Structure 1
Amino acid sequence: MDIEGTILTGRDFDPVRGRVVVEDGRITAIEEERVESTDVVLPAFVNAHTHVGDSIAKEAGAGLSLDDLVAPPDGLKHRLLRAASDDDLVAAMRRSLQYMQRGGTGTFLEFREGDVAGVRLLDRAAEGLDVDPVVLGRGSADVVDVADGYGASGARDADFERERAATREAGKLFGIHAGERDDEDIHPALDYDPDFLVHLVHAGEDHLDRIEREGVPAVVCPRSNLVTGVGFPPIETLAERTTVALGTDNVMMNAPSMFREMEFAAKLTDLDAPAVLRMATVAGADIAGLNRGCVEPGREAHLLVLDGDSDNLAGVQDVVRAVVRRAGVSDVKRVVLP
């Protein structure tokens, strides 16, 4: 299979006119030559932090505090999750997964509530779709057996030593929320030697020094943080210290659109477009240990094709900047997810 157009290649997304050659689900070559296609070819997005279970409760709880909205065990989302039937939860999650796939997301890292049963429900929701969940279960340590790892709520909520030990033994991911409400749980979260931290809105210099020293990646969710009123993460400073990826967080509060997340991050920081696009693609893949998120030979062919001649994108002068700050779901022409 050949895909022609302007190809955003490598980790810097250098634009190349030509074609991507795909064989058996992998990129085998990038051939630079004249082509007529106006399409733009880039990596499919990797959404590095989601809670798709609360698709059952979109726009619920307006005006509530972060704790009242999502804190376990009795935040609004948890009460709504308990009240919903399995079939309703599966149907709601499936709608969100379909939206993500149609919007160019090929992979998402999901903090999945409901222990083993919750993971099984997400498996049902994803059945027959191409979008690929990396599922970090929540609940007992037993969930590690059926998930891709464990997604901890935060160091102040419980002791996660058993869960961390289970992920180490299984060679699976351990991620944990930290620094969302305040800075008091950041060092305790780092004490678990996590594979990544989520949020870090309140990370101070001592936290940043430790994150850099220990090489711990970060996932930031700027739209969510502003919606819940906790502040804005120090994305630029974090990017100077470690790998940073973007996530859309709770579907309750935000549509799981990486286009929106990129535009938001780009327009509220001084980061350049390639840096933001890395956060939406290969950074999340790196965190999850996946060989995707980048258009180069040898990578899995998880690709997004945009219509470069759409009313929105026709005439752009800087294609990478346009992808990050202007493009949207309506510009998606094709999503290639082998």
Structure 2
Amino acid sequence: MQQFEGTVVSGSSFEPVEGRVVVEDGRITAVERASVDATDIVVPAFVNAHTHLGDSVAKEAAVDLGLEAAVAPPDSLKHRRLAAADRDTLVTEMRRTLQFMAQTGTAACLDFRESGPTGARALRAAADETPVTPFVLGSGPTSVLDVADGYGASGANDDDFETERAAARDAGVPFAIHAGEPDATDIHPALDLDPDLLVHMVHADEDHLERVADQDVPVAVCPRANQVLSVGRPPIRDLLDHTTVALGTDNVMLNPPSMFREMAVTAKAFDVTAREVLRMATAAGAEAVGLNCGVVEPGRDAALLVLDGESDNLAGTADPIRAVVRRATPLDVKRVVLR
């Protein structure tokens, strides 16, 4: 049995309470309110709702390139770098990125993995020696679903993806798709596929938002990547008013997969509360694909992030949730509890 004491951000309401979290056999068995001496802040470990870990072979290679030239399939710089990388290099670099994610408090990520079954297997191999769980959203032929956890489509303007959507439905796994990143033209076609997750939705308007609400489709947003690629700003407040919104870091080639950085940018640049942002960085991504983490409550997997409330950066904080979202950095991490 393990116990983690301090200010615990507890339950689906993300209420900060003084007390302890009790963990046994990898599960949270109790969250107890109690008077404790510890000044740590205990929150759910992060769930990064959108990554492209294959880009680990091309960090900072796409300087000043736009969306099409940087990452669009099939001939962008990213895809040329992926094609040129041998498997050992790809696995090694993805593993290093997963290790960085573990060190900075991420328990799981929803990864759009290129290169079909071969790409999905490479990510499985990269994850074998790390405590981070990648939820693999594979691409390419439908046979990728024999290896992956779901299907990740590039966008409805690239293909109709009806066959892939049907295969995912038959397999009982999530179908996720990029939509509304460069413009709005692929949003309605993406929604016609009845997806389980939409990614980006930068150019969503009221008609799109109403459909998202009617179809109850969660959305993953990636503000830093959108900024780097100059595609615009996602309407996060409007999205939150219509559906569940999760936070992702997108391409490793563009930004480090730091949820601390993504939360701080989101909290300071958009009309959102700190509690909403923390939920976007944890529970929302987990809920989108059915992971049993992202919330500190009994029965959940013990995926926890313990921050030092007395670090030089966090000491004297008036609001622990705002401190985690807007101020905390990897230097404040005291312990990461993962599998």
Range into which the TM-score falls when normalised by the shorter chain: over 0.9
Q: 1:295 corresponds to which letter in structure 2? A: V
> For the residues of structure 2 that align with 1:209 and 1:270, how far apart are their CA atoms?
20
Look up the equivalent residue of 1:99 and give its one-letter code. Answer: F
Task: Give the aligned residue type for 2:7.
Answer: T
The separation in 2 between residues aligned to 1:132 and 1:56, in whole angstroms, is 20
The number of equivalent residue pairs is: 338
Matching residue of 2:228: 227
Conserved? CA contact 2:236–2:271, under 8 Å: no
Q: For residue 217 of structure 1, what is the amino acid of its counterpart?
A: P
Shift of 1:76: 0.5
Partner of residue 104, structure 1: 105
Q: How does 1:230-269 map to 2 (within 5 A)?
A: 230-269=231-270
Match of 1:9 in 2: 10
Say whether 1:153 aligns with 2:154.
yes
Calculate the aligned-residue CA RMSD, in Å.
0.8
Deviations 1:82-120 (CA, angstroms, capped at 9, x unpaired)? 011111111111111000000000010000011001011
Aligned-partner SS, 1:241? coil
Q: For 2:97 and 2:170, locate their aligned partners in 1 and report how far apart those are by CA, in whole Å.
A: 32
User: Which residue matches 1:334?
Assistant: 335
- Residue 288 of structure 1: how far off its partner (Å): 1.0
| CA positional deviation for 1:12 | 2.5
Q: Secondary structure at the match of 2:188?
A: helix
Moved more, 149-158 or 7-16: 7-16
Identify the residue that residue 211 of structure 1 maps to in structure 2.
Answer: 212
In the alignment, structure 1 residue 70 sits paired with structure 2 residue 71: yes
Larger displacement relative to structure 2 (11-20 or 218-227): 11-20
**Match of 1:87?**
88
Partner Cα separation in structure 1 for residue 217 and residue 33 of structure 2: 37
Residue deviations 1:254-277 (CA, integer Å, cap 9, x gap):
000000000000000121110000
Give matches, 1:1-338, under 5 Å: 1-338=2-339
The code of the aligned residue for 1:315 comes to G
State the alpha-carbon separation in 2 of the partners of residues 88 and 298 from structure 1: 38
What is the distance in 2 between the residues matched to 1:63 and 1:279? 28
C-alpha distance after superposition, 1:314-337 (max 9, x if no partner): 110000000000001111111111
In the alignment, the residues of structure 1 paired with residue 62 and residue 295 of structure 2 have an alpha-carbon distance, to the nearest angstrom, of 38
Quick one: which amino acid aligns to residue 159 of structure 1? D
Provide the rounded CA distance (Å) in 2 between the counterparts of 1:94 and 1:300: 22
2: CA distance, partners of 1:314 / 1:37? 13
Residue 20 of structure 2: SS of its match in structure 1?
strand
CA-to-aligned-CA distance 1:219-254 (integer Å, 9 cap, x gap):
000000010000000000000000000000000000
Mapped partners of 1:65, 1:15: distance in 2: 41
Superposed displacement of residue 186, structure 1: 0.1
Question: What is the DSSP-based 3-state SS (H/G/I as helix, E as strand, rest coil) of the residue aligned with 2:241?
Answer: helix
Stretch deviating more after TM superposition (230-239 or 118-127) = 118-127
Distance 2:166 2:270 in 1: 37
Runs of 4 or more off by more than 4 Å in structure 1?
A: none
The one-letter code matched in structure 1 to 2:331 is S
Cα displacement (A) at 1:166: 1.1
Paired letter, 1:121: A
Mapped to 1, the partners of 2:121 and 2:197 lie a distance apart of 24
Which whole-Å CA distance do the structure 2 matches of 1:68 and 1:145 have between them? 31
Distance between the aligned counterparts of 2:186 and 2:42, measured in 1? 40
Deviations 1:46-101 (A, max 9, x none): 00000010111011121111001111110110000001111111111111100000
Percent identity (aligned): 63
Q: Could you tell me how far 1:299 is from its partner in structure 2?
A: 1.4
* Superposition TM-score, scaled by structure 2 size: 0.98
